[in-house]
C-alpha cells in the first residue's frame, strides 16, 4: 500500500508540473483583418525563433473591432491588426489600444507611419497610384489625382465605391492638402468622368483598364503585384496590359497607406505582444512583406522585391496617417454629395 501511495504521489506531482508548464507556455493572441495567407507565414517564423505560440483569428476589421468592444476586459486578444489608417483610427476612437513604448519599434517605424500617441504602428506600406493603358493613354497626359477631373478623362475612369476605405483615405488626404472647397469641386468633376458605376475590388479596376472598359484606374499596388505573379494566366495577362503612373510627383507625392498593429487595451500577454511587434518591424520581416505581399516596407533601408523595383522609385506623400482617420467622416460626406456611390 505504501508503494502504491508513493506512486500516486509521484504521478500527482508530475501531473501538477505538466499542468503548470502548459499554463505557463508563452503565447500571444491576434485579431487580424489581414487574410491568413498574408500574415500567417511570418507569424510561424516568429514562433520558430522565439517559441511563443501565436493564435490567429481573422475577420473583417469592423466586426473584429466590435468583438473587442463586446468582450471588454474578457477579450483574449492581445493585438489588433488591420489594413488601413482609417480603420486604425476607428480602433483608437473605440479606446481599443494601449500605448507601446518600445525604442526598438519607434526607431524602426517613421513617425508619420505610426499614431502620435504610439497606440499603433505601421507594418507595411501600400501605394495607391494611377494605372493606365499604354495603348490608349500617353503618360504625358497624366499629372495628379486632381488632373483626373479634366474633361479629357470623360467616361474613361474606373474606381471602387465610396464605401471603400482606401478611397476614403485618399480623399481624406486630398482634403488635408487642398481644403474642402477645392476637393469637393474636384470630386464632382471626377465622378462625372467615371466610365461605369463603381463596382468590384481593386483587381476589377485594373482589369477594366486591361479590357478597355476604361483607360485609367486608381488601385493599390499590392493587388497589381499579386496579379503580375498570379497562378491564373488570365490575371497575369490582364496585368501585363497595364502600367503604373506615380501621381503628384511635383507636389505632395503619391498617396500611401499602411497596415498596422497595436496592443489591445486589455491584453494579457503584453511582453509577448511587444516581442511580436518588434519582430514584425525587423529587417527580416519587413523584407518578407516586400517579397511575399508586394507591399513596401515601412522601415527605411530594407531591400524591395524584384517586382517593386521594376516599378521604380517614387515620391511618397508623407502626410501623418492620423489625418486619414481624422478626416474620414468629412471625406465620406463629401464623396456622397458628389454622387460617388
Q: Which residues are annotated as a binding site for Fe cation?
A: 222-223
DSSP E strand boundaries for 147-272: 157-158, 216-218, 243-245, 256-264
CA atoms within 13 A on the CB side of 155: 0
Are 191 and 340 in contact, with CB atoms under 8 Å apart? Answer: yes
- Give the rounded distance of the alpha carbon of 269 from its chain centre: 24
Spatial distance between the Cα atoms of 26 and 47, rounded to a whole number of angstroms: 10
Q: Which residue has the cell 500567417?
A: 40
Residues in binding site = 222-223
C-alpha cell at 50: 522565439
Phi-psi region of 289 (alpha: psi -120 to 50; beta: other; left: phi over 0): alpha
Q: 3-state class of 260 per DSSP? A: strand
Best CA proximity match to 300, nearest among 312, 316, 323: 316
Burial per residue of 319-336, b for 16 or more beta-carbon CB atoms within 10 angstroms, e otherwise: bbbbbbbbbbebbbebbe
Amino acid at each position: 500500500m505504501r508503494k502504491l501511495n508513493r506512486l500516486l504521489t509521484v504521478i500527482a506531482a508530475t501531473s501538477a508540473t505538466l499542468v503548470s508548464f502548459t499554463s505557463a507556455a508563452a503565447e500571444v493572441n491576434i485579431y487580424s483583418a489581414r487574410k491568413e495567407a498574408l500574415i500567417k507565414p511570418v507569424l510561424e517564423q516568429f514562433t520558430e525563433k522565439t517559441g511563443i505560440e501565436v493564435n490567429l483569428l481573422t475577420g473583417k476589421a469592423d466586426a473584429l473591432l466590435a468583438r473587442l468592444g463586446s468582450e471588454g476586459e474578457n477579450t483574449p486578444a492581445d493585438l489588433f491588426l488591420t489594413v488601413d489608417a482609417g480603420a486604425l483610427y476607428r480602433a483608437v476612437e473605440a479606446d481599443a489600444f494601449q500605448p507601446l513604448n518600445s525604442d526598438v519599434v519607434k526607431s524602426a517605424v517613421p513617425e508619420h507611419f505610426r499614431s502620435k500617441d504610439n497606440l499603433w504602428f505601421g507594418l507595411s506600406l501600400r501605394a495607391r497610384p494611377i494605372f493606365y493603358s499604354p495603348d490608349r493613354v500617353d503618360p504625358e497626359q497624366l499629372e495628379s489625382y486632381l488632373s483626373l477631373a479634366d474633361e479629357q478623362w470623360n467616361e474613361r475612369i474606373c474606381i471602387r465605391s465610396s464605401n471603400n476605405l482606401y478611397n476614403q483615405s485618399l480623399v481624406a488626404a486630398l482634403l488635408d492638402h487642398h481644403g474642402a472647397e477645392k476637393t469637393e469641386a474636384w470630386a464632382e468633376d471626377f465622378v462625372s468622368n467615371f466610365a461605369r458605376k463603381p463596382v468590384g475590388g481593386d483587381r476589377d479596376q485594373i482589369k477594366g483598364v486591361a479590357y478597355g472598359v476604361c483607360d485609367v484606374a486608381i488601385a493599390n499596388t499590392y493587388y497589381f503585384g499579386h496579379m503580375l505573379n498570379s497562378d491564373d494566366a488570365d490575371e497575369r495577362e490582364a496585368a501585363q496590359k497595364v502600367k503604373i503612373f506615380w501621381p503628384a510627383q511635383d507636389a505632395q507625392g503619391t498617396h500611401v497607406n499602411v497596415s498596422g498593429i497595436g496592443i489591445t487595451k486589455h491584453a494579457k500577454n503584453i511582453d509577448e505582444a511587444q516581442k511580436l511587434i518588434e519582430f514584425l518591424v525587423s529587417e527580416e520581416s519587413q523584407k518578407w512583406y516586400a517579397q511575399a505581399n508586394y507591399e513596401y516596407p515601412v522601415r527605411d533601408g530594407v531591400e524591395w522585391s524584384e517586382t517593386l523595383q521594376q516599378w521604380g522609385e517614387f515620391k511618397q506623400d508623407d502626410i501623418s496617417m492620423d489625418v486619414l482617420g481624422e478626416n474620414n467622416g468629412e471625406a465620406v460626406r463629401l464623396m456622397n454629395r458628389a454622387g460617388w456611390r
